[in-house]
Amino acid sequence: MPLVAHSPLPTFERLLREGHSVLTPERARGQDIREMHVGLLNMMPDAALEATERQFFRLVGESNQIAQFYLHPFTLDTLPRGEKARAHIDRYYDRFEQLQEEGLDALIITGANVTQPDLALEPFWEPLGEVVQWAWENVTSTLCSCLATHAVLQMRHGQKRRRLPAKRWGVFAHEVVERSHPLVNDVNTRFDVPHSRFNEVSHDQFVAAGLHVLVESVNDGVHLAVSEDGFRTVFFQGHPEYDTVSLLKEYKREVSLYSHGKRADYPPFPANYLGLQAQAILDEHRDRLEAALAAGRPLPAFPEALITRQLHNTWHDTGEAIINNWMGFVYQLTNSDRRKPFMEGVDPKDPLGIYTR
Catalytic center residues: 146, 239, 241
Q: Is 241 exposed, middle or buried (0-12, 13-18, 19+ CB in 10 A)?
A: buried
- Pairwise CA distance, residues 16 & 323, whole Å: 20
Element of type H or E holding 37: strand 35-43
Region of 215 on the Ramachandran plot (φ > 0 left; ψ -120 to 50 alpha; else beta): beta
Q: Is 277 exposed, middle or buried (0-12, 13-18, 19+ CB in 10 A)?
A: exposed
- Pairwise CA distance, residues 323 & 106, whole Å: 12
CB-CB contact of 114 with 199 (8 Å): no
Pairing of strands 212-217, 162-176: antiparallel
- Pairwise CA distance, residues 157 & 147, whole Å: 15
Residue from 169, 155, 121 nearest 268 by CA? 169
Handedness of CA 24, 25, 26, 30 (dihedral sign): positive
